[in-house]
Structure 1
Amino acid sequence: MSIKIVPDWMVNLEDEDIAFIKKFILNSGSLKKMAKEYDVTYPTVRLRLDKLIQKIEIEDRIEEDSYISLIKRYAVDEKIDFDTAKVLISEYRKNIEGADAE
């Protein structure tokens, strides 16, 4: 069994976010081409990219969190499965983001 190493900033991205990133790269970072491919306006693609940037920035801010590091270590050591780790981290982040909004 091969283990995929996923960068921290990608762990909680949705599949559609990863597909967007792939298309963005394949389109040489052209938002104009992306708009055409998705059949939407340029501002719509720009907004989607801005939201994706925010998700990645949030990941970077809490990357050093000891709880998240512990969960990731458990997943790497196969003490818990990857899907369980992903759910635990996602729920933890929701709580952190909710606390930041208050």
Structure 2
Amino acid sequence: MAIEIIPEWMAALEEEDISFIKNFVLASGSLKEMAKHYGVTYPTVRLRLDKLIQKINISDDYAEEPYVALIKRMAVNDRLDFDTAKILISEYKKSKRGEKK
């Protein structure tokens, strides 16, 4: 019996993200093929890939700054606008600097 080890960055992804990654690999990384597969335009697939890259980068930040990662994840998932996210992160970091003094 094989022991499954799922990297943290992958465990943080939604099922549709994992499916997108699988299809991307099966399409040999071709965004053009992905666009055909999903019946959307190339820029739509590119945007989806960019959001997925952001999600993976955010999950890498999570261990160090879980609050900041949560705010970033909410912005990437369109649950919070980017300007508000920037303000929240900025204020959080200011408060953290104040604690260290």
Band the TM-score falls in, shorter-chain normalisation: 0.5 to 0.7
Q: State the partner residue of 1:21.
A: 21
1:63 to partner: Cα distance: 3.3
Percent of pairs with identical residues = 62
Distance 1:50 1:26 in 2: 18
Superposition CA RMSD, Å: 2.3
Any stretches of 5+ residues in structure 1 without a counterpart? Answer: 66-92
Q: 1:98 Cα deviation (Å)?
A: 2.9
The offset of 1:12, in angstroms, is 1.3
With the length of structure 2 as denominator, give the TM-score of the two structures.
0.64
Q: Give the corresponding residue for 1:98.
A: 71
Cα-to-partner distance string for 1:2-39 (whole Å, 9 max, x where unaligned): 65210111011010000000000000000000000000
Moved runs in structure 1, 4+ residues, more than 3 A?
Answer: none
Question: Using CA pairs below 8 Å that are at least 6 residues apart, which structure has the higher relative contact order?
Answer: 1
Cα distance between partner residues in 2 of 1:39 and 1:5: 33
